[in-house]
Protein backbone atom coordinates (compact mmCIF):
# COMPACT_ATOMS: atom_id res chain seq x y z
CA UNK A 1 0.00 0.00 0.00
CA UNK A 2 2.89 2.32 0.85
CA UNK A 3 4.53 1.69 -2.54
CA UNK A 4 1.29 2.54 -4.34
CA UNK A 5 1.10 5.90 -2.58
CA UNK A 6 4.70 6.95 -3.24
CA UNK A 7 4.33 7.80 -6.96
CA UNK A 8 1.31 9.97 -6.16
CA UNK A 9 3.24 11.67 -3.39
CA UNK A 10 6.19 12.33 -5.68
CA UNK A 11 3.87 13.66 -8.34
CA UNK A 12 2.43 16.24 -5.95
CA UNK A 13 5.94 17.19 -4.82
CA UNK A 14 7.11 17.47 -8.42
CA UNK A 15 4.18 19.72 -9.24
CA UNK A 16 4.89 21.97 -6.27
CA UNK A 17 8.62 22.25 -7.02
CA UNK A 18 7.75 22.97 -10.65
CA UNK A 19 5.88 26.05 -9.50
CA UNK A 20 8.81 27.25 -7.41
CA UNK A 21 11.28 26.60 -10.25
CA UNK A 22 9.86 29.67 -11.95
CA UNK A 23 11.76 31.72 -9.37
CA UNK A 24 9.28 34.59 -8.86
CA UNK A 25 11.10 37.88 -8.58
CA UNK A 26 8.33 40.06 -7.11
CA UNK A 27 5.75 39.57 -4.40
CA UNK A 28 2.96 39.66 -6.95
CA UNK A 29 4.64 36.90 -8.97
CA UNK A 30 5.03 34.86 -5.81
CA UNK A 31 1.35 35.29 -5.01
CA UNK A 32 0.43 34.23 -8.53
CA UNK A 33 2.44 31.04 -8.06
CA UNK A 34 0.73 30.36 -4.74
CA UNK A 35 -2.73 31.06 -6.15
CA UNK A 36 -2.06 28.76 -9.06
CA UNK A 37 -0.93 26.05 -6.66
CA UNK A 38 -4.13 26.53 -4.67
CA UNK A 39 -6.22 26.22 -7.83
CA UNK A 40 -4.47 22.91 -8.47
CA UNK A 41 -5.44 21.73 -4.97
CA UNK A 42 -1.89 21.62 -3.61
CA UNK A 43 -3.33 23.37 -0.53
CA UNK A 44 -6.70 24.84 0.37
CA UNK A 45 -8.02 28.39 0.15
CA UNK A 46 -7.75 28.94 3.89
CA UNK A 47 -4.04 28.15 3.82
CA UNK A 48 -3.62 30.54 0.90
CA UNK A 49 -5.42 33.27 2.81
CA UNK A 50 -3.09 32.82 5.78
CA UNK A 51 -0.01 32.94 3.55
CA UNK A 52 -1.29 36.10 1.86
CA UNK A 53 -1.92 37.67 5.25
CA UNK A 54 1.56 36.73 6.49
CA UNK A 55 3.11 38.35 3.41
CA UNK A 56 0.91 41.44 3.73
CA UNK A 57 1.89 42.40 7.29
CA UNK A 58 5.33 43.48 6.17
CA UNK A 59 3.65 46.18 4.09
CA UNK A 60 1.21 47.29 6.79
CA UNK A 61 2.03 49.82 9.49
CA UNK A 62 0.75 50.18 13.03
CA UNK A 63 -1.39 53.14 11.94
CA UNK A 64 -3.30 50.80 9.59
CA UNK A 65 -4.66 48.56 12.36
CA UNK A 66 -4.45 50.53 15.61
CA UNK A 67 -7.44 51.49 17.75
CA UNK A 68 -7.61 55.30 17.39
CA UNK A 69 -7.15 57.46 20.48
CA UNK A 70 -10.83 58.47 20.45
CA UNK A 71 -11.90 54.79 20.69
CA UNK A 72 -9.42 53.73 23.40
CA UNK A 73 -11.02 52.28 26.51
CA UNK A 74 -8.88 53.45 29.42
CA UNK A 75 -9.08 53.51 33.20
CA UNK A 76 -8.20 56.55 35.29
CA UNK A 77 -5.77 55.86 38.07
CA UNK A 78 -7.71 57.91 40.64
CA UNK A 79 -11.13 56.36 39.95
CA UNK A 80 -12.65 54.13 42.67
CA UNK A 81 -11.88 50.43 42.25
CA UNK A 82 -15.59 49.59 42.11
CA UNK A 83 -16.04 51.98 39.17
CA UNK A 84 -13.03 50.49 37.38
CA UNK A 85 -14.39 46.97 37.91
CA UNK A 86 -17.77 47.99 36.53
CA UNK A 87 -16.13 49.54 33.46
CA UNK A 88 -14.00 46.43 32.89
CA UNK A 89 -17.11 44.24 33.03
CA UNK A 90 -18.99 46.47 30.58
CA UNK A 91 -16.20 46.61 27.98
CA UNK A 92 -15.10 42.97 28.34
CA UNK A 93 -11.44 43.82 27.75
CA UNK A 94 -8.65 42.04 29.59
CA UNK A 95 -6.15 44.93 29.43
CA UNK A 96 -6.50 48.69 29.77
CA UNK A 97 -4.12 51.62 29.53
CA UNK A 98 -4.13 53.33 32.92
CA UNK A 99 -3.94 57.10 32.60
CA UNK A 100 -3.48 60.14 34.80
CA UNK A 101 -4.87 63.49 33.71
CA UNK A 102 -5.30 62.65 29.99
CA UNK A 103 -4.78 59.91 27.42
CA UNK A 104 -1.31 61.35 26.78
CA UNK A 105 -0.42 60.49 30.38
CA UNK A 106 -0.22 56.68 30.19
CA UNK A 107 1.08 55.33 33.48
CA UNK A 108 1.03 51.64 32.60
CA UNK A 109 -1.15 48.72 31.54
CA UNK A 110 -3.77 47.36 33.92
CA UNK A 111 -4.85 43.71 33.72
CA UNK A 112 -8.48 43.14 34.65
CA UNK A 113 -7.62 39.80 36.27
CA UNK A 114 -5.75 41.69 38.99
CA UNK A 115 -9.11 42.81 40.35
CA UNK A 116 -9.52 39.30 41.74
CA UNK A 117 -7.05 40.17 44.51
CA UNK A 118 -9.10 43.18 45.53
CA UNK A 119 -12.43 41.36 45.65
CA UNK A 120 -10.80 38.41 47.40
CA UNK A 121 -9.82 40.74 50.21
CA UNK A 122 -6.09 40.44 49.51
CA UNK A 123 -3.67 43.41 49.63
CA UNK A 124 -4.11 45.41 46.44
CA UNK A 125 -2.68 48.68 45.16
CA UNK A 126 -3.73 49.81 41.69
CA UNK A 127 -0.52 51.68 40.90
CA UNK A 128 1.67 48.79 42.04
CA UNK A 129 -0.29 46.34 39.88
CA UNK A 130 0.38 48.21 36.61
CA UNK A 131 2.62 46.63 33.99
CA UNK A 132 5.05 48.89 32.11
CA UNK A 133 3.54 50.40 28.96
CA UNK A 134 5.34 49.74 25.66
CA UNK A 135 5.30 52.60 23.17
CA UNK A 136 5.64 52.14 19.41
CA UNK A 137 5.55 54.64 16.53
CA UNK A 138 2.66 54.75 14.05
CA UNK A 139 5.08 53.92 11.24
CA UNK A 140 6.33 50.63 12.71
CA UNK A 141 5.86 47.65 10.39
CA UNK A 142 3.48 44.99 11.66
CA UNK A 143 5.89 42.11 11.11
CA UNK A 144 8.46 43.86 13.31
CA UNK A 145 5.80 44.63 15.91
CA UNK A 146 4.72 40.98 16.01
CA UNK A 147 8.34 39.95 16.54
CA UNK A 148 8.60 42.47 19.38
CA UNK A 149 5.36 41.25 20.97
CA UNK A 150 6.69 37.70 20.95
CA UNK A 151 10.13 38.63 22.26
CA UNK A 152 8.76 40.71 25.12
CA UNK A 153 5.78 38.42 25.73
CA UNK A 154 3.64 41.52 25.52
CA UNK A 155 0.05 41.84 24.24
CA UNK A 156 -0.57 45.57 24.00
CA UNK A 157 1.40 48.63 22.91
CA UNK A 158 0.59 52.33 23.05
CA UNK A 159 0.97 54.09 19.71
CA UNK A 160 2.81 57.41 19.74
CA UNK A 161 2.58 60.08 17.06
CA UNK A 162 5.50 62.11 15.70
CA UNK A 163 5.11 64.69 18.47
CA UNK A 164 5.20 62.14 21.29
CA UNK A 165 1.47 62.21 21.98
CA UNK A 166 -0.73 59.12 22.17
CA UNK A 167 -2.55 58.41 18.91
CA UNK A 168 -3.98 54.99 19.73
CA UNK A 169 -3.20 51.48 20.87
CA UNK A 170 -2.49 48.17 19.16
CA UNK A 171 -2.73 44.61 20.43
CA UNK A 172 -1.20 41.34 19.32
CA UNK A 173 -4.70 40.26 18.30
CA UNK A 174 -4.91 43.21 15.89
CA UNK A 175 -1.74 41.97 14.19
CA UNK A 176 -2.66 38.27 14.13
CA UNK A 177 -6.05 39.05 12.62
CA UNK A 178 -4.28 40.48 9.59
CA UNK A 179 -2.90 36.98 9.04
CA UNK A 180 -5.65 34.58 10.08
CA UNK A 181 -8.74 36.79 9.98
CA UNK A 182 -11.04 37.60 12.89
CA UNK A 183 -10.24 35.79 16.11
CA UNK A 184 -13.47 34.97 17.89
CA UNK A 185 -13.49 34.87 21.67
CA UNK A 186 -16.05 34.20 24.36
CA UNK A 187 -17.29 37.78 24.13
CA UNK A 188 -17.98 37.73 20.41
CA UNK A 189 -21.57 37.27 19.32
CA UNK A 190 -22.79 34.49 17.04
CA UNK A 191 -26.57 34.67 17.36
CA UNK A 192 -28.45 36.98 14.94
CA UNK A 193 -30.18 38.78 17.80
CA UNK A 194 -26.75 39.56 19.30
CA UNK A 195 -25.47 41.26 16.14
CA UNK A 196 -26.68 44.65 17.43
CA UNK A 197 -25.61 46.28 20.69
CA UNK A 198 -26.85 49.60 22.00
CA UNK A 199 -23.95 51.75 23.20
CA UNK A 200 -24.03 54.28 26.02
CA UNK A 201 -23.82 57.23 23.60
CA UNK A 202 -26.94 56.14 21.71
CA UNK A 203 -25.11 54.59 18.76
CA UNK A 204 -25.25 50.89 17.86
CA UNK A 205 -22.46 48.35 17.50
CA UNK A 206 -23.43 46.17 14.53
CA UNK A 207 -21.75 43.05 13.21
CA UNK A 208 -20.74 43.67 9.59
CA UNK A 209 -21.94 40.21 8.53
CA UNK A 210 -25.50 40.99 9.61
CA UNK A 211 -27.93 40.45 6.76
CA UNK A 212 -29.35 43.69 5.34
CA UNK A 213 -32.86 42.29 5.50
CA UNK A 214 -32.42 41.78 9.27
CA UNK A 215 -30.89 45.24 9.64
CA UNK A 216 -33.82 46.82 7.81
CA UNK A 217 -36.28 44.95 9.99
CA UNK A 218 -34.49 45.99 13.20
CA UNK A 219 -34.14 49.68 12.34
CA UNK A 220 -37.06 50.25 9.99
CA UNK A 221 -34.71 51.15 7.12
CA UNK A 222 -35.07 50.30 3.44
CA UNK A 223 -31.51 49.69 2.26
CA UNK A 224 -31.48 47.70 -0.97
CA UNK A 225 -29.96 44.23 -0.86
CA UNK A 226 -29.63 43.97 -4.65
CA UNK A 227 -25.92 44.85 -4.64
CA UNK A 228 -25.01 43.62 -1.13
CA UNK A 229 -26.42 41.02 1.25
CA UNK A 230 -24.82 42.33 4.44
CA UNK A 231 -24.31 45.64 6.24
CA UNK A 232 -20.57 45.42 5.69
CA UNK A 233 -21.14 44.71 2.02
CA UNK A 234 -23.32 47.81 1.78
CA UNK A 235 -20.51 49.99 3.18
CA UNK A 236 -17.88 48.44 0.91
CA UNK A 237 -20.13 48.82 -2.15
CA UNK A 238 -20.86 52.49 -1.46
CA UNK A 239 -17.19 53.29 -0.87
CA UNK A 240 -15.98 51.19 -3.78
CA UNK A 241 -13.21 49.68 -1.66
CA UNK A 242 -12.49 48.03 1.68
CA UNK A 243 -12.36 50.80 4.33
CA UNK A 244 -9.95 50.92 7.23
CA UNK A 245 -10.72 51.13 10.93
CA UNK A 246 -11.96 54.57 11.92
CA UNK A 247 -13.36 55.50 8.48
CA UNK A 248 -16.90 56.87 8.34
CA UNK A 249 -19.55 56.90 5.66
CA UNK A 250 -23.01 58.47 5.58
CA UNK A 251 -25.76 56.63 3.73
CA UNK A 252 -29.25 58.14 3.63
CA UNK A 253 -28.56 60.04 6.83
CA UNK A 254 -27.20 56.99 8.67
CA UNK A 255 -23.54 57.14 9.73
CA UNK A 256 -21.46 53.97 9.51
CA UNK A 257 -18.06 53.93 11.22
CA UNK A 258 -15.62 51.03 10.92
CA UNK A 259 -14.77 49.73 14.40
CA UNK A 260 -13.00 46.53 13.49
CA UNK A 261 -11.56 45.34 10.18
CA UNK A 262 -8.62 43.44 8.78
CA UNK A 263 -7.00 43.52 5.37
CA UNK A 264 -9.74 41.38 3.84
CA UNK A 265 -13.06 42.06 5.54
CA UNK A 266 -15.09 44.19 7.90
CA UNK A 267 -16.08 42.83 11.30
CA UNK A 268 -17.83 45.51 13.37
CA UNK A 269 -19.44 48.87 12.60
CA UNK A 270 -20.71 51.72 14.74
CA UNK A 271 -24.05 52.86 13.36
CA UNK A 272 -25.73 56.18 14.19
CA UNK A 273 -29.28 56.93 13.03
CA UNK A 274 -30.13 60.25 11.37
CA UNK A 275 -30.62 63.27 13.58
CA UNK A 276 -34.29 63.82 14.49
CA UNK A 277 -36.11 65.94 11.96
CA UNK A 278 -36.36 69.55 12.99
CA UNK A 279 -33.08 69.35 14.97
CA UNK A 280 -29.84 71.08 14.15
CA UNK A 281 -28.13 69.94 11.02
CA UNK A 282 -24.80 68.24 11.62
CA UNK A 283 -21.71 69.95 10.30
CA UNK A 284 -20.06 68.60 7.19
Tell me: the pLDDT tens digits for 68-105?
A: 888 889 999 999 999 999 888 888 788 999 999 999 99
Q: How many helices and strands (H and E) does the chain possess?
A: 11, 12
Domain 196-272 coded CATH 3.30.465.10: yes
Angstrom CA distances, 35 to 22, 46, 122, 141, stand at 14, 11, 57, 25
Whether the pTM exceeds 0.75: the reply is no
Does residue 280 have a pLDDT over 60? Answer: no
- Delimit the domains of the chain by residue range: 26-57, 63-180, 196-272
Find out whether 197 and 204 touch, Cβ atoms under 8 Å: yes
Does residue 235 have a pLDDT over 60? Answer: yes
Q: What is the pLDDT of residues 187-200, one digit of tens each?
A: 454 455 568 888 87
Confidence of residue 221 (pLDDT cuts 50, 70, 90): very high
State the chain's mean pLDDT as an integer.
82
Angstrom CA distances, 201 to 166, 238, 250, 270, 271, stand at 23, 26, 18, 11, 11
Q: In CATH, what is the architecture of 63-180?
A: Roll (3.10)
Does residue 169 have a pLDDT over 90? Answer: yes
Amino acid sequence: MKDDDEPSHRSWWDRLTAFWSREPETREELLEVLRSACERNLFDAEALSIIEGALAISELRVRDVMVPRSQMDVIRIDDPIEEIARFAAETNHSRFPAIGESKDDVLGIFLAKDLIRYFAGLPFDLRDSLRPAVFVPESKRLDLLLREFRRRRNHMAIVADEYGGVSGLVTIEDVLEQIVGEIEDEYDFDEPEDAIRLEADGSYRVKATMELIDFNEAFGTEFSDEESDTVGGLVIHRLGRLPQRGERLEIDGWTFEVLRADSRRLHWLRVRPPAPSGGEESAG
